[in-house]
Amino acid sequence: MSGNKGVPDTLDHRERWSDPTEASQAAHDGRQAAIHTSMPGIIVSYNPATLTARVKPAIQGNLRSPEGKISQVNLAELPDVPVHFPGGGGAILTFPVKPGDDCLLVFSERSIDYWHQLGGQQKQQDWRMHDINDAICMVGVRSMPAVPGSVSGSTTQLRTDDGSVVLELDQGGTIRLVAPSTVIITTPLVKVSGDVIAGTISLRNHKHKDTQPGGGESGVPKP
């Protein structure tokens, strides 16, 4: 292969034929093989400080020998790939990306090096186009073995793969939170316009028993 692009060094044997149409098609196929658009990938490592990942392409490349024999080879791992998370307006939704996670690699039509390093509008580093080195990693796409079970088809969920922790919004206006351990809220003030019910006890309407005038404490609330 030539460099890291997955392009065979040898010509397609059809390009040596006397048929100009077939030779032209072979040359076209060879050029098209060097144009990268998108492909699935697998996370090798993730750096949350830089929002970048090392990713190995999940689709193998074809390597042609001088004799025309085709073999399948793993493409080289891609370092420092920018990881896409939903975000905008000063907010971002991030995930704890782990090695082995599936992802989708999208390849820019021009070099992204200066843009990634400096932001804003930048010149191209060189004239490469649709190059495998200009990948952006989009996490979330899944192969069938990695699809989580019991995914809701009627509500919006932020959840763990095993479904043990769920934040769910339905179209009826209900938000459901499932947390088998603890829910922690860090804020100086919580305001609720409606009622709060703990078990069967209403915060707004509950009553106390064993009360009496004076400075003593009341008993626990009762439903």
Sequential DSSP letters for 50-82? TTEEEEEESSPEEEE-TT--EEEEPPPPEEEEE
How far does the chain reach from its first CA to its final CA, in angstroms? 75
Would you state the pLDDT for residue 203? 82
Predicted confidence (pLDDT) at residue 2 exceeds the cutoff of 50: no
Where does residue 201 rank: exposed (0-12), middle (13-18), buried (19+ CB within 10 A)?
A: middle
Q: Are 36 and 132 in contact (CB under 8 A)?
A: yes
Q: What pLDDT score does 222 carry?
A: 66
pLDDT value for 76: 93
Residue listed under structure tokens 């580093």: 125
Q: What is the mean pLDDT of residues 171-193?
A: 93
pLDDT of residue 26: 65
| pTM (two decimals) | 0.77
Kindly list the structural domains of the chain, giving each domain's residue range(s) and its CATH number in brackets, ordered by start.
1-147 (2.40.50.230)
Q: What type of residue is 28?
A: H
The pLDDT mean for the chain works out to 85
Q: Which residue has the higher pLDDT, 200 or 214?
A: 200
Task: Give bridge partners of residue 158 from the DSSP assignment.
Answer: 167
Burial code (b: 16+ CB inside 10 Å, e: under 16) for 205-223 equals: eeeeeeeeeeeeeeeeeee
pLDDT in tens, 43-94: 999 999 999 999 999 999 888 787 778 899 999 999 999 999 999 999 999 9
Q: How confident is the model at residue 210, as a pLDDT?
A: 66
Least Cα distance to 131 among 63, 73, 76, 84 occurs for 76
Residue 21: band (very low, low, confident or very high) from pLDDT cuts 50, 70, 90 = confident
Question: In the sheet that 166-169 helps form, which strands lie side by side, from edge to edge?
Answer: 156-159, 166-169, 175-178
In this prediction, residue 126 has a pLDDT band, given cuts at 50, 70 and 90, of confident
Between 204 and 120, the more confident residue is: 120
- Distance from chain centroid for Cα 216: 57
Residue percentage of the chain with pLDDT more than 90: 57
pLDDT band at 18 (very low <50, low <70, confident <90, very high): low
The pLDDT assigned to 220 comes to: 66
